[in-house]
Chain A
Amino acid sequence: MSIRVGEAAEAPSFQKAAHMLLKDDQLRTNVRHATDVITQKRSHVVAEQHDWQQLRDAGSAIKAHTLRFLDHYLDQFEAACTAAGGHVHWAADADEANRIIVGLIQRQGGREIIKVKTMTSDEIGLNRALEANGIHPHETDLADMIIQLGHDQPSHIVVPALHKNRRQVREIFMQAMGLKELGDRPEDLTDAARRYLREKFLKVKIGFSGANFLIAETGGVCVVESEGNGRMCLTLPDVLITIAGVEKVIPTFRDLEVFLQLLPRSATGERMNPYNSLWTGVHPDEGPREFHVVLLDNGRTRILADHESRETLHCIRCGACLNTCPVYRQTGGHAYGSIYAGPIGAILTPQLFDMEHSQSLPYASSLCGACYEVCPVKINIPEVLIHLRGRVVREQQSGASLEAIGMKAMARVFATRRRFEAAQRLGRIAQWPFISQGWIHHLPGMLGNWTAVRDLRPMPSQTFRNWWRGREKGNSND
């Protein structure tokens, strides 16, 4: 089984990518501004929801229950969707999903498709597979369109072009659309996008979408969005193909009551999304005449098997953890080398994909806990990060790394009082070559990362326990 996440197989480690991105002042300014705006909007609409914590509990409980009985609910979804005239396809991995989707488009003789935002298609590298088969995908979500036209990579799971400001978007549009003049007001930019997209909406006969929720009870699909471009993709074409990870299923229509409150408030700081599309199978004289759903595993059942990290699959892709994360705020999303960025990316990517760079992701966090606090489905991201760090250490257990040697030595030091006290004495002696004017300004090796920007006070001449010892003997001045 081959698993991959878009282009990420070649991604550098988080540390290396962060090193480059921290120099990009424009990007960092854009990311800070955008995350500040969304975070403030979110806190406002969350504060007015008095049962917010109960909603989070409910969201978490529904997800936990569904995952516990995932096989049942997926079968139920397939039966209901099929009965409503849809076609359900099962894909074990990215390659199988791409084969199914390319096959469906080729059967229609299609050379183009219009897409509404779907991260899952980025996860499987769909656009590349389509282009390889002579099919051109048009991204219609405004942000995804900016990314596609600018030959860029998404940096946020809800606001993929968050790292670009309006002036940069204007330049991308002018170049890609061949415009001689264009303002940089939001109205100017959306007007240009509208003209460009209208033509595609009217011409292209195959639509492609992701899914926010699959409803097992009815076989229905739910997509929420802000622009209405999604609504165009879902209703105008003759054929609609939807891809969804298997974890997107929820038991009943009624469960949307919980998620349609949690998701928009967490994602964009809105009480409700401007466009909430729900459809079930096909209907004569209305909407697409053919509807397909591709249910994707691509590593998800492997996550399900790990009871310590299973809750990763609760994620409803709201992006609140990215906006609040102090690490993401510094680097933006590209540092995570995956379409899944930020804290959720730091736990999801290393579980979905066995790439070398993903081993650095569980460490891309100060474990500050802000992500867990805002997560609408209560994924304890810091706990899962720690669990995955344990896995990384086990997998790298050649035992030869300096870190592993140091950690094991420290464990032996802490194992007995005698060794601990000896180490305290040794430390005081070992530090003296580094002390100047009462401070340590430079340290060797990994510890040099500390002294790169911070001074360090040397160990004082007396430990606490020695002070206490002196006090017990009654010869302390304190």
Chain B
Amino acid sequence: MMDVRGNFPRSMRISLFITCYNDTLFPETGKSVVRLLERLGHQVEFPFEQTCCGQMHYNTGYQPEAMPLLRRFVEVFKNAEAVCIPSSSCVAMIRDHYSKMAEAAGDAALVRDVEDLLPRVFELTELLVNKLGVEDVGAYYPHRVTYHASCHSLRSLHLGDLPMRLLRKVRGIKLVDLERIDQCCGFGGTFAVKNGEVSAAMLEDKLRCVVNTRAEVCTAVDNSCLMHIFGGLHRQGAGTKTVHLAEILAATEEGMA
């Protein structure tokens, strides 16, 4: 497969930051990332010392508690050729806040390490399209699918149409547009619990749009939103299920057979 300049990218050594909740709750997403990247000819590493990026603590107001997690992330990944993260909100945490946090800590060496590492940190679709230069990953997924754009992917990472470019090249897929695609689903991390009722009202709006697509599958680049959306769909007895984008891209005709 050729990149944008028509070159065949060499095989890369890609370190996977699976994220704490994918590791624990969505192992299938991680397995799919591994299968996909290996199928594209790259080597995947999984450093066992990784835990969490600190987003939950940082965003809830426990910023001092997030600091050791920043140090851990930098320590684990500072020598990586590229870091792949199948979660846009964790990438946003790292990209939007790590420099500022390191500066606030007054640690010049850490600031340098963070600045040095950040350009090598990629959300999955960024890695595929922007770094590895592929859109057609050879996937086969014969289902009716709608794409939910998570807030961090839209307004923090500005992924734009990267996920759709990948999805359009999937064979057998029937893509259906989601109404009000730029509207938050109401997850918002601890918001879903601290303001449970408002979160539920926001979810209700999102579910209406998802159900209206009559899609079999709602996909996204964040399992956090999907956990919230699927939880609501299941409670309502709706037939649509949620699947992380990596799992669609990893699916092949051989795999289905």
Write out the residue numbers on chain A whose beta carbons fall within 8 Å of the beta carbon of B195. Answer: 14-15, 18, 327, 363-364
Chain B residues whose C-beta falls within 8 Å of the C-beta of A417 in the assembled complex: 48-51
Known: A363-B191, A389-B61. A411 touches B68 (CB 8 A): yes
Q: Inter-chain contact count A-B, CB under 8 Å?
A: 185
B154: chain A residues at CB < 8 Å are 369
Output the least CB separation between A44 and chain B (Å).
Answer: 16
Return chain B residues, CB-CB under 8 Å to A15: 194-195, 197
Question: Do the beta carbons of B201 and A363 come within 8 Å of each other?
Answer: no
Q: Does B99 contact A (CB under 8 A)?
A: no
Establish whether residues A22 and B68, one from each chain, have CB atoms under 8 Å apart when the complex forms.
Answer: no
Pairwise interchain contact B58-A410, C-beta atoms closer than 8 A: no
- Contact check, A22 vs B201: say whether CB atoms are below 8 A apart: yes
Q: Is the pair B48, A424 in contact by a Cβ cutoff of 8 Å?
A: no
B37-59 contact mask (Cβ, 8 Å, vs A): 1 or 0: 00000000010111110101111
Contact indicator A369/B61 (Cβ below 8 Å) = no
B234 neighbours in A (Cβ, 8 Å): 439, 454-455
Contact B31 A464 (CB under 8 A): yes
Counting chain A residues whose Cβ lies within 8 A of the other chain, the interface size class is 35 or more
Whether, in the assembled complex, A478 has its beta carbon less than 8 Å from a beta carbon of chain B, the answer is yes
A177 lies within 8 A of chain B by Cβ:
no
Q: B25 within 8 Å of A by Cβ?
A: yes
B60 CB contact (under 8 Å) in A366, A389, A465? A389
Kindly supply a per-residue 1/0 record for chain A positions 56-73, scoring 1 wherever the CB is within 8 Å of any chain B CB and 0 otherwise. Answer: 000000000000000000
Q: Verify B230–A449 contact, CB threshold 8 A.
A: no
Q: Which residue of A lies closest to B19 (CB)?
A: A464
Would you call B196 and A327 a contact (CB within 8 A)? no
A420 close to B (CB within 8 Å): yes
How many Å from the CB of B60 to the closest CB on chain A? 6
A206-222: which have CB < 8 Å to B?
none
Quick one: closest A residue to B201, CB to CB? A330
Q: Known contacts being A22-B201, A363-B195, A389-B61, is A465 close to B188, with CB within 8 Å?
A: no
B7-15, B115-123, B178-186, B211-219 - interface stretch = B178-186
Alpha-carbon gap, A416 to B202, bound state (A): 36
Contact assessment for B68 and A456 in the assembled complex, using a CB-CB cutoff below 8 Å: no
What chain B residues lie within 8 Å of A364 (beta carbons)?
Answer: 195, 198
Say how far A327's CB is from chain B's closest CB, in angstroms: 6
Q: Distance (Å) between the CB of A455 and the closest chain B CB? A: 4
Taking the complex as formed, is B151 at the interface, i.e. its CB lies under 8 A from any CB of chain A? yes
- Please, which residues of chain A bring their CB within 8 A of the CB of B28? 460
A15, A366, A392 — most chain B CB neighbours (10 Å): A366
26 A-B pairs (CB sep. < 8 Å):
A327-B202, A366-B184, A366-B189, A368-B155, A372-B155, A386-B63, A403-B60, A407-B57, A407-B62, A408-B62, A411-B69, A414-B68, A414-B72, A416-B51, A420-B51, A450-B192, A452-B197, A453-B196, A453-B200, A454-B200, A456-B231, A457-B227, A463-B24, A464-B22, A464-B23, A464-B27
| B interface residues, Cβ below 8 angstroms from A | 18, 20, 22-31, 34-35, 46, 48-52, 54, 56-63, 65, 68-69, 72, 151-152, 154-156, 182-184, 186-205, 227-228, 230-232, 234-235
If A22-B198, A326-B183 are given as contacts, then 15 extra A-B residue pairs at C-beta distance below 8 Å, sorted by A number, are: A18-B195, A365-B188, A366-B202, A368-B155, A368-B188, A413-B51, A417-B49, A449-B197, A453-B196, A453-B232, A454-B228, A455-B234, A464-B22, A464-B23, A468-B46
